[in-house]
Amino acid sequence: MWYNAGSSYSKVYVRQEKSPLANLNFRGLRLTPPKILSLGFVLLIAAGTLLLCLPAASTAGRISFIDALFMATSATCVTGLAVIDTGTQLTTFGQVVLLVLFQFGGLGFVTMATLITLVLNKRISLKERLLLQESMNQHSMQGIVLLIRRVLIYSLVIQLTGAIVLAVRFMADMPFARALYYGLFHSISIFNNAGFDLFGDIHGPYSGLTRYVEDPIINFTSMVLIFLGGIGFIVLSDVLEFPKRKRLTLHSKVVLTTSAALIVLGAALFFWLELHHTLKPLHAGGKVMASFLQAITPRSGGVTTIEIPLLRESTQFLMILLMFIGAAPGSTGGGIKITTFAILIATVYARVRGREDIILFRNRISKDNVYRAITMTLLSLMLVVMATMLLSVTESADFLSVLFEAVSAFGTSGITMGLTTELTTVGKVLIIVLMFVGRTGPLTLAYALKPKKNKELYRYPEGDITIG
């Protein structure tokens, strides 16, 4: 695009450099930010599928299209469910493809495109700022580019630190170069809540982190990475700015408080339910570490140190509830989100106390946010119920395993009771859809597909319905 920058005596034409994000606004398609976000994930999944279909990606020579699509979707949507073992059935090339996909999927392709824009010193237009605002779940464009810069810096520092710590620990078990690769891969995977691991090549297919159940370095590093990736970049930025600003936003207070409550309550319940079962062989410290990691990881982490099929049914159902709640908005996790859950609890509390206003930290929550939370929860619940019913027909497994798989896919948790590798082709397609919707969000997908909103010209008379 060319601009006339001259006066009446002379004209100078200056070319405006466009950023990579500008190419997403296809002329004539009227792509809104939600549609662009959904389309971006589709394009990432398509590219990943094609790369994983290449013979160079598989140790067996070639991956079937449906398996490649499943793995690409799982990586892009940072889920972690795998129909093939990452450590034994993928080559280094295939593993790097997954790594790139869950790095882009975790931080968001818009954020990564912004990184390219900033590196190339290109201008970010108004439309692109609107897209960034949507991708980060912000209410305003003010400071959005600064927030993205912080997100990129914080993410890089956290993942690099995690990679160094894990690599040093892995050096005790493997050669130096391999330890560095494993440290980098698992740090990025765990921080982005992807849940993929390479230990199948060492401890057997689909072994995960079960051999490190009592390892304090692996456990503590994993919990910190999952937590930092799951609270959201908005909260992370707010916390790091706290020494200067001396205050936290309402959003950060709700996310941090609710996260802490869910972690402590989840760990306590897990410890109580499994104390004389799966935790029995472990020493006291191992029992505590295992309880806390298993309380944190369902909220979209995807890595476990306890074999999920061996847990009690009550514990498995507890993990289903935690997976459905998920992580914070603007994070690498899925689920209905912590803030949605907090608003629902506050709404119930207010109605039970007979109060009109919904209050959180001495702030009144708008009715629009309450309606949004209820809508998100009901849409998510209906989606999980429908998927569970269909999977119950297509798969030969007990109901709890099917429900666990459906919620894990929707919450992008990546934990399984062993059903993933036994899924039929129809079952794989259903799980792919659940992972995609769980990552993009039911409301975002609904807004992306909805028709243009028309102004209502009239209102119906108010009616009364008996409740309860």
State which H helix or E strand residue 365 sits in: strand 363-365
Higher-pLDDT residue of 333, 172: 172
Q: What is the mean pLDDT of residues 333-343?
A: 88
302 CA to centre of own chain: 10
Q: What is the mean pLDDT of residues 394-417?
A: 92
Using CB atoms within 10 A of its CB, is residue 217 exposed (0-12), middle (13-18) or buried (19+)?
A: middle
C-beta separation of 166 from 178 below 8 A: no
Neighbours of 455 (CB within 10 A): 4
Grouping H, G, I as helix, E, B as strand and the rest as coil, residue 142 is coil
The C-alpha atoms of residue 414 and residue 428 are separated, in whole angstroms, by: 14
Locus of tokens 């959003």: 251
Higher-pLDDT residue of 132, 93: 93
With 80 as the cut, is the pLDDT of residue 414 above it? yes
Q: What is the mean pLDDT of residues 51-58?
A: 92
With 50 as the cut, is the pLDDT of residue 94 above it? yes
The C-alpha atoms of residue 366 and residue 27 are separated, in whole angstroms, by: 36
Ranges of H-type helices in 192-245: 200-203, 216-230, 233-240, 242-245
Grouping H, G, I as helix, E, B as strand and the rest as coil, residue 4 is strand
Q: What is the mean pLDDT of residues 382-408?
A: 94
The C-alpha atoms of residue 245 and residue 247 are separated, in whole angstroms, by: 5
Phi/psi for 361 (5° steps) reads: 50, 45
The C-alpha atoms of residue 326 and residue 334 are separated, in whole angstroms, by: 5
Q: What is the mean pLDDT of residues 388-402?
A: 93
Write out pLDDT tens, residues 206-243: 888 888 999 999 999 999 999 988 887 778 888 888 88
| pLDDT the model gives residue 162 | 94
Tally the C-alpha atoms within 13 A of residue 111's C-alpha that lie toward its C-beta. 26
Locus of tokens 């740090």: 187
C-beta separation of 126 from 138 below 8 A: no
Two tokens at 351? 């109605």
In this prediction the pTM is 0.83
For the four alpha carbons of 370, 376, 380 and 382, in that order, the dihedral sign comes to positive
| pLDDT the model gives residue 386 | 95
94 CA to centre of own chain: 21
| pLDDT the model gives residue 41 | 82
The C-alpha atoms of residue 54 and residue 61 are separated, in whole angstroms, by: 8
Percent of the chain with pLDDT over 90: 45
With 60 as the cut, is the pLDDT of residue 16 above it? no
The C-alpha atoms of residue 432 and residue 45 are separated, in whole angstroms, by: 11
Two tokens at 122? 């290109």
Tally the C-alpha atoms within 13 A of residue 127's C-alpha that lie toward its C-beta. 15
| pLDDT the model gives residue 442 | 67
- DSSP codes of every residue in 172-189: TTS-HHHHHHHHHHHHHH
Neighbours of 319 (CB within 10 A): 26
The C-alpha atoms of residue 285 and residue 327 are separated, in whole angstroms, by: 26
Q: Which range is least confidently modeled, 70-84, 322-336, 372-386, 407-421?
A: 322-336
Two tokens at 96? 């790097």
Higher-pLDDT residue of 41, 253: 253
Structural domain boundaries of the chain? Answer: 17-444
The C-alpha atoms of residue 134 and residue 40 are separated, in whole angstroms, by: 13
With 70 as the cut, is the pLDDT of residue 128 above it? no
- DSSP codes of every residue in 38-81: HHHHHHHHHHHHHHHTSGGGBTTS---HHHHHHHHHHHHTT---
Highest mean pLDDT among 149-158, 182-191, 301-310: 182-191
Q: Which of 273, 275, 278, 233 is nearest to 252 (CA)?
A: 233
| pLDDT the model gives residue 52 | 94
Neighbours of 453 (CB within 10 A): 7
* Element counts in the chain: helices (H) and strands (E): 20, 4
CA angle 413, 414, 419 (to 5 degrees): 130
CA distances from residue 68 to 96, 197, 367, 429 in whole angstroms, order as listed: 14, 17, 43, 12
C-beta separation of 331 from 229 below 8 A: yes
| pLDDT the model gives residue 51 | 94
With 90 as the cut, is the pLDDT of residue 299 above it? no
The C-alpha atoms of residue 168 and residue 170 are separated, in whole angstroms, by: 6
With 50 as the cut, is the pLDDT of residue 10 above it? no
Phi/psi for 206 (5° steps) reads: 60, 25
The mean pLDDT of the chain is: 82
Write out pLDDT tens, residues 25-50: 444 456 666 676 778 788 889 999 99
In this prediction, residue 286 has a pLDDT band, given cuts at 50, 70 and 90, of: very high
